[in-house]
Amino acid sequence: MGSEFTGDTTMDAAEKRLNELGYKQELRREMTMFKTLAISFSTMTLFTGITPLYGSSLQYAGPASLVWGWVVVSFFTWFVGIAMAEICSSFPTTGSLYFWAAHLAGPKWGPFSSWCCAWLETIGLIAGIGTQAYAGSQTLQSIILLSTGTNKGGGYFAPKWLFLCMYIGLTVIWAALNTFALEVIALIDMISIWWQLIGGIVIVIMLPLVSLSTQSASYVFTHLELAPESTGITSKPYAVILAFLVSQYSLFGYDAAAHLTEETKGADKNGPIAILGSIGMISVFGWAYILALTFSIQNFSYLYDTNNETAGAFVPAQILYDAFHGRYHNSIGAIILLFIIWGSFFFGGLSITTSAARVVYALSRDNGVPFSSLWRKLHPKRKVPSNAVWLCAGICILLGLPILKVNVVFTAITSICTIGWVGGYAVPIFARMVMPEKNFKPGPFYLGKAGRPICLIAFLWICYTCSVFLLPTLYPITWNTFNYAPVALGVVLGLIMLWWVVDARKWFKGPVRNIDTQNGKV
C-alpha cells in the first residue's frame, strides 16, 4: 500500500527519504518553505528573548557587554545552525533531533543517545512555553499599569495571584489553538512573521527618533559599569559572562523548522534553508533592537528605581515610557509598542506549543513516555496530536505555580528551557562529529571535510552555554535569589537516567519504524 495521504504519484523526495528511514507519512505534507521559515522565525521571536532579560543583562556590566555579547553569541550560533542544517538535510523527520541522535550514534549507542536527546528536548520545549507565558504576562502587567495611570499616578500593578492567572490563561489559549487544524496555526504563524518584521522595524526606527535625547556611540559600544549594590557581583569577567545570557537565551529555537519537516514540501532542501534563514534574520534584527533600546536610555539609574512609572519591574517598558512621555507627555505610544511586543510573546508561545507537542508525539510514537498510547493519539479528523498538546500545557502550568512565592521563577524557567533545548542540540552534533564519515548519508546540504571542525566548535559552545545558565545570577545567595534550575534539572534528569538504568534500556530501542521498507507494507 502506498502513502495514505499523498498517493504514490505525488510523493516528494523528502517523503521518499522518510519512508527509507522507516516511517510512513502520517502528518499532512502541506507546508511551503516560507511557512516553515515563518514558524522557525516565530519560535526564535525577535522580542521574546531580548525583552525580558534585557534589564538584568544591562545591569550586570552596562551597555557594552550587552551590545557586543549579541555579536559574539551570534557568531557561535552560526556553527550550531550549520551543523544542524547538514543533519536536517539528511533526516527529514518530525522526531528531528532525537531521531538524528539515534541514527548518527549507531546501533550500540543509538537508543541511549536518542533517550537523552528526546528528554532534554522535551524538558526544554515545555519550559519554553513557560518562558513565553511568563514574559507575556509581565508585558501585560506593564500595559495594564501604564493604561491605568502609571505607578506614580495610582495605576494598577497586577499582584502575584493575577500574574499567575494570566500565565495559566495564555498557556490554555495556546493549547486550545493547537488542538485545531494545522492550517489555523500556519495562518497565525504567517501573521506572526509579518507582525515581527513590521513591528520590529517600527520599534527599531521609531524609538531612537522619538527619544528627546540619545546616548553617545562611545557610551553604547564601550561603557562598562558594574552594579554590585544591586547584583552583589564585583567581578568584571563574571558580570560580563552573565550579561551574555540575554543573547544565549534569545539565539535558539531555529530547530522548529526541523520539527515540521514531515509536514514540509521538499524538506531535505527547505529545512536547512529555514534553519539558516531564521538565524540570519534574528542576528541582524536582534542586534538592531538591542541598539535601539540602548541608544534610547534617558537615565540609566532611574530604570531600576522601584518608584518609577513602571515600578522598576520591566526595564524595556520604562525606556519606551521615557521616550514617548518625554516627547508627547502621554504613554499611548509606549502602550502601543508594548502591545506589539506582547503579540510577539503570544505568537512565540503558540509556535513553541506546536513544537513541544510534536516532540512528545514523536517520543510517544516510539514508546518513550509513560502512557505512550494516550499521548500518540492523533485527532481523528484534524490529524493533530491533541492529547500531547494538553499534556505539555498541564506541565507548563505546574512549572509556573512557584510564581506565588518565589522571586526568581523566570530565571529558573529560562535556565531549564535553555539547557534542555540547547542541550538537546548537543547530542546529535556530538554523534555526527564522532561517527565514521562513510556511515553518514548526506542530503543536498553537505559540509564535507568542514563538518567535523564545525561540529566541534558547535558542541563546545553548547557545553559552555549550558554551564553558564547554572550559575547564580544574584549574590548573596538566599532563598529569594537562589537559581533553582540546577536542582530542578538535577532531579528530573536524575529520575530519567534512573528509569533508563533500571528499566527503559531493556525495551527502549529509539525511533520505532512504522513501515516495512523491504516490501513497502505499512
How confident is the model over 416-454, as pLDDT tens digits? 999 998 999 999 999 999 988 888 888 888 888 898 999
Span 487-512, pLDDT tens digits: 889 998 999 999 899 988 888 887 76
Mean pLDDT of the region 133-147: 93
The CA-CA-CA angle for residues 135, 195, 327, to 5°, reads: 75
pLDDT number for residue 334: 93
Q: DSSP string of 459-490?
A: HHHHHHHHHHTTS-SSSS--TTT---HHHHHH
CA nearest neighbour of 504 among 116, 98, 96: 116
The burial class, CB within 10 Å (0-12 / 13-18 / 19+), for 467 is exposed
Span 169-180, pLDDT tens digits: 999 999 998 887
Mean pLDDT of the region 248-258: 78
| Longest alpha-carbon distance in the chain | 74
Average model confidence (pLDDT) across the chain: 84
Superfamily assignment of 39-506 in CATH?
Answer: Amino acid/polyamine transporter I (1.20.1740.10)
Task: Say whether pLDDT at 84 is over 50.
Answer: yes
pLDDT number for residue 473: 86
How large a percentage of the chain has pLDDT more than 90?
Answer: 39
**Residue type at 258 in one-letter notation:** A
| Spatial distance between the Cα atoms of 62 and 333, rounded to a whole number of angstroms | 26
pLDDT number for residue 269: 77
**Residue type at 406 in one-letter notation:** V
303 CB-near residues (< 8 Å, 6+ apart):
55, 58, 297, 312, 315, 318, 319
Task: Say whether pLDDT at 6 is over 50.
Answer: no
Task: Say whether pLDDT at 280 is over 50.
Answer: yes
| DSSP designation for 521 | B
Task: Say whether pLDDT at 111 is over 80.
Answer: yes
Task: Say whether pLDDT at 13 is over 70.
Answer: no
| Spatial distance between the Cα atoms of 182 and 187, rounded to a whole number of angstroms | 9
Q: DSSP string of 87-131?
A: HHHH---TTTHHHHHHHHHHHHHHHHHHHHHHHHHHHHHHHHHHH
pLDDT number for residue 182: 66
CA nearest neighbour of 295 among 223, 214, 221, 218: 214
pLDDT number for residue 282: 85
pLDDT number for residue 172: 95
Task: Say whether pLDDT at 405 is over 90.
Answer: no
pLDDT band, very low/low/confident/very high, at 356 (cuts 50, 70, 90): confident
Task: Say whether pLDDT at 5 is over 60.
Answer: no
pLDDT number for residue 363: 81
Span 267-276, pLDDT tens digits: 677 778 888 8
Q: Which residue has the cell 509579518?
A: 194
95 CB-near residues (< 8 Å, 6+ apart):
118, 359, 362, 363, 365, 366, 511
Average the pLDDT over each of 95-104, 203-212, 274-283, 311-320 and give the range with the smallest value.
95-104
All structural domains of the chain with their residue ranges? 39-506
Which DSSP helix (H) or strand (E) runs through 440? none
| Spatial distance between the Cα atoms of 167 and 119, rounded to a whole number of angstroms | 24
pLDDT number for residue 18: 65
Q: DSSP string of 217-256?
A: HHHHHH-----HHHH----HHHHHHHHTHHHHHHS--TTH
How large a percentage of the chain has pLDDT more than 70?
Answer: 84
pLDDT number for residue 517: 41
pLDDT number for residue 181: 60
Dihedral in degrees, nearest 10, Cα atoms 306, 308, 309, 314: -50
In this structure, what are the phi and psi dihedrals at residue 260, rounded to the nearest 5 degrees? -105, 10
pLDDT number for residue 143: 94
Task: Say whether pLDDT at 208 is over 70.
Answer: yes
> pTM of the prediction?
0.86
Mean pLDDT of the region 356-375: 78
Report the first-to-last Cα separation within the chain, whole angstroms: 7
Task: Say whether pLDDT at 518 is over 50.
Answer: no
CB 292 within 8 Å of CB 204: yes
CA nearest neighbour of 318 among 95, 131, 145, 478: 145
Average the pLDDT over each of 62-66, 339-343, 472-476 and give the range with the smallest value.
472-476
pLDDT number for residue 180: 75
| HSE (side-chain half, CA atoms, 13 Å) at 360 | 31
Task: Say whether pLDDT at 521 is over 50.
Answer: no
